[in-house]
């Protein structure tokens, strides 16, 4: 397991604990902060998973990934050029 994913899991657990403490103490700010921290940790875990999938795709089918990257680059360039006018 990657370090980033482990950090995300730890952040998610800490956020859930903080949210639970906010529930028990009746502190809405602590509860909201805990939920935000838990969501941040979960998103960090998902990004680590996405990095693994991208790495696997790159090693299995490098030309498909390269083609997708070129297509996305052209699309973003066209959108950027369109916004400049």
pLDDT(24) > 80 = yes
Is 38:46 a contact under the CB 8 Å cutoff?
no
Over 90: is that where the pLDDT of 46 sits?
yes
DSSP code, position 29: H
76 pLDDT band (50/70/90 cuts)?
very high
pLDDT at 44 over 80: yes
pTM of the model: 0.68
Q: Looking at the chain, how many residues does it have? A: 85
At 83 the pLDDT is 79
Q: How does residue 40 score in pLDDT terms, banded at 50, 70 and 90?
A: very high
Q: Is 26 left (phi over 0), alpha (psi -120 to 50) or beta?
A: left
**Where do the structural domains in the chain lie, given as residue ranges?**
3-84
């Amino acid at each position: 397991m990657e370090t980033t994913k482990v950090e995300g899991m730890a952040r998610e657990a800490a956020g859930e604990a903080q949210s639970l403490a906010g529930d028990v103490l009746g502190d809405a700010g602590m509860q909201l902060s805990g939920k935000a921290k838990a969501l941040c940790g979960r998103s960090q875990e998902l990004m680590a998973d996405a990095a693994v999938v991208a790495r696997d795709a790159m090693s299995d089918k490098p030309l498909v990934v390269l083609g997708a990257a070129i297509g996305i680059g052209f699309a973003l360039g066209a959108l950027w050029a369109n916004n400049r006018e």
